[in-house]
């Protein structure tokens, strides 16, 4: 019997009416003879509301209790869908993360799944049940509830699909697949019918929030076929799969934009061996992920050190940087929050040169100044001012020939 895991995101379960539409789709798959495990997000906006409630309760809400609170969003939708299915006469059962056997480490707010013991779900499926699992959550060794980071229900779904050896993991969302860039920013974006895990991972890392990064890591590692599609129509979406020889290796297959980073510059620090270690060591100890780094040499044995960090970690990173600048005798710490990182991604870059030149020329044609640059084998990223982000995305989309051909559209 085919087994499918279906994950529905926040907009797809935004109210009871939409949850009923989800029930219709689940019912259809079940009646077609498939075993179905459904993984749900919280209703759209609920996780944000819970975070805001927590910040009214305390300046720095306790992380353990915050996870207990945030997990209730997914608990609500899972129970509601199971109720609707049962009221229609189907055997269904809801599972919280820990009941589904999702075992995580104990990093509140961004826990990693260590393993999944699916025996309860398997037993329920064998008895003919539709299993409805609350996404975004698990439990650590002590049985404490943990959450998996924003967008974490994608990861719950792919991890469950991998541990059940499902035939497919369908990610139902509010767009009908993965596009060449965010279709909300660029109306000329095109749907990609098949994308490799590798490219999808770069896109997720670089800001395309359609799939959470860890979900793609899981899918890649365990070879889970992922189908990203719309919960509002029946169209085929995008298959995220292993790179195959018949897959076209576009030089540039996608453009992303990430507004979630902030920039920190340590001005006039000594240009000596060991200085970078003194700066980045304490940041690493604080588990702050530094992304782009650039060092400008000045005359007189001094240098400016610039790097970016996630906005969530910015305050802590600034405090640490100020302390380090005092210790090593630098001048000051400068910061910028209004920045964006735009990136071009493509497997074909491995064998093509000149992509960076096209990118820089396109940005220059719109007078967009590049502040930082970083590259990997299959991508180039530039940090620019946030106010130019959407213009940059559209300009690059056109420059790399990704615009939808048929109709004349206006942005």
Enumerate binding residues for Mg ion (CB under 5 A): 9, 151
Q: What does 175 interact with, of Mg ion, ligand ADP, ligand ASP, none (CB < 5 to 8 A by kind)?
A: ligand ADP
- The rounded distance, in Å, linking the Cα atoms of 83 and 90 is 10
The helix or strand, by DSSP H or E, that contains position 363, with its residue range, turns out to be: helix 355-365
Residue number of the CB closest to ligand ADP reads 9
Specify the residue, 11 or 295, whose C-beta has the smaller distance to ligand ASP: 11
Q: Is 398 exposed, middle or buried (0-12, 13-18, 19+ CB in 10 A)?
A: middle
Specify the residue, 111 or 368, whose C-beta has the smaller distance to ligand ASP: 111
Specify the residue, 302 or 312, whose C-beta has the smaller distance to Mg ion: 312
11 binds ligand ADP (CB under 6 A): yes
Q: What does 97 interact with, of ligand ADP, Mg ion, ligand ASP, none (CB < 5 to 8 A by kind)?
A: none
Among 146, 163, 181, 395, binds ligand ADP (CB under 6 A): 181
156 binds ligand ADP (CB under 6 A): no
Calculate the CA dihedral of residues 90, 96, 102, 106 and round it to 10 degrees.
Answer: 170
- The rounded distance, in Å, linking the Cα atoms of 115 and 16 is 32
Calculate the CA dihedral of residues 197, 246, 188, 352 and round it to 10 degrees.
Answer: 80
Length of the chain: 411
Q: What does 150 interact with, of ligand ASP, ligand ADP, Mg ion, none (CB < 5 to 8 A by kind)?
A: ligand ASP
The helix or strand, by DSSP H or E, that contains position 117, with its residue range, turns out to be: none
Among 38, 124, 175, 344, binds ligand ADP (CB under 6 A): 175
173 binds ligand ADP (CB under 6 A): yes
- The rounded distance, in Å, linking the Cα atoms of 386 and 382 is 12
Q: What does 135 interact with, of ligand ADP, Mg ion, ligand ASP, none (CB < 5 to 8 A by kind)?
A: ligand ASP
Q: What does 197 interact with, of Mg ion, ligand ASP, ligand ADP, none (CB < 5 to 8 A by kind)?
A: none
The helix or strand, by DSSP H or E, that contains position 357, with its residue range, turns out to be: helix 355-365
217 binds ligand ADP (CB under 6 A): no
- 3-state DSSP of 328-384: HCCCEEEEECCEEEEEEECHHHHHCCCHHHHHHHHHHHCCCCCCEEEEECCEEEEEE
209 binds ligand ADP (CB under 6 A): yes
Helix axes 355-365, 389-399, angle to 10 degrees: 130
Among 6, 35, 41, 253, binds ligand ADP (CB under 6 A): 41
Residues whose CB falls within 8 Å of the CB of residue 56, separated by 6 or more in sequence, listed in order: none
Stretch of 95-103, 113-121, 174-182, 274-282 lying at the interface with ligand ADP (CB under 6 A): 174-182
Among 151, 237, 330, 346, binds ligand ADP (CB under 6 A): 151
Using left for φ > 0, alpha for ψ between -120 and 50, and beta otherwise, residue 113 falls in beta
Residues that bind ligand ASP (CB under 6 A): 9-10, 41-42, 47, 73, 135-136, 150-154
Q: What does 157 interact with, of ligand ADP, Mg ion, ligand ASP, none (CB < 5 to 8 A by kind)?
A: none
Q: What does 182 interact with, of ligand ASP, ligand ADP, Mg ion, none (CB < 5 to 8 A by kind)?
A: ligand ADP
Shortest gap between Cβ of 151 and ligand ASP (angstroms)? 5
- The rounded distance, in Å, linking the Cα atoms of 53 and 63 is 14
How many CB atoms neighbour CB 192 within 10 A? 22
- The rounded distance, in Å, linking the Cα atoms of 307 and 280 is 10
Q: Which residues bind ligand ADP (CB under 6 A)?
A: 9-11, 41, 151, 173-175, 178-179, 181-184, 208-210, 254
């Amino acid at each position: 019997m085919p087994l499918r895991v279906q994950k529905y995101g926040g907009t797809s379960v935004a109210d009871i009416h939409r949850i009923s539409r989800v029930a219709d789709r689940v019912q259809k798959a079940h009646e077609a003879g498939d075993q179905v495990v459904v993984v749900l997000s919280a209703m759209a906006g609920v996780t944000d509301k819970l975070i805001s409630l927590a910040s009214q309760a305390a300046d720095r809400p306790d992380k353990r209790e915050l996870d207990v609170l945030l997990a209730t969003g997914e608990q609500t939708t899972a129970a509601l869908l199971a109720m609707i299915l049962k009221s229609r006469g189907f055997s269904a059962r809801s599972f919280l993360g820990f009941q589904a056997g999702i075992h995580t480490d104990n990093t509140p707010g961004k826990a990693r799944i260590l393993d999944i013991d699916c025996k309860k779900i398997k037993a329920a499926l064998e008895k003919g049940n539709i299993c409805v699992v609350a996404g975004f959550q698990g439990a650590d060794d002590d049985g404490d509830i943990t959450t998996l980071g924003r967008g974490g229900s994608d990861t719950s779904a792919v991890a469950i699909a991998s541990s059940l050896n499902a035939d497919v993991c369908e990610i139902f969302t509010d767009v009908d697949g993965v596009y060449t860039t965010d279709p909300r920013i660029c109306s000329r974006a095109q749907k990609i019918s098949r994308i490799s895990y590798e490219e999808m991972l770069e896109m997720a890392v670089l800001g395309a929030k359609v799939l959470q990064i860890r979900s793609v890591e899981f899918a890649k590692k365990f070879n889970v076929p992922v189908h990203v599609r719309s919960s509002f129509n029946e169209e085929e979406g995008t298959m995220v799969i292993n790179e195959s020889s018949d897959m076209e290796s576009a030089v540039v297959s996608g453009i992303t934009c990430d507004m979630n980073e902030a920039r920190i510059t340590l001005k006039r620090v000594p240009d000596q061996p060991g200085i970078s270690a003194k700066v980045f060591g304490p940041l690493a100890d604080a588990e702050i992920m530094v992304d782009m780094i650039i060092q400008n040499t000045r005359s007189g044995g001094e240098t400016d050190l610039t790097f970016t960090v996630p906005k969530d970690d910015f305050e802590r990173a600034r405090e640490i940087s100020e302390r380090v600048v005092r210790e090593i005798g630098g001048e000051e710490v400068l910061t910028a929050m209004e920045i964006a990182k735009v990136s071009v991604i493509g497997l074909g870059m491995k064998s093509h040169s000149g992509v960076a030149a096209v990118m820089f020329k396109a940005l220059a044609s719109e007078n967009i100044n590049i502040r930082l640059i970083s590259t990997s084998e299959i991508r180039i990223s530039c940090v620019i001012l946030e106010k130019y982000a959407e213009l940059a995305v559209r300009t690059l989309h056109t420059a790399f020939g990704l615009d939808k051909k048929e109709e004349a559209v206006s942005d």
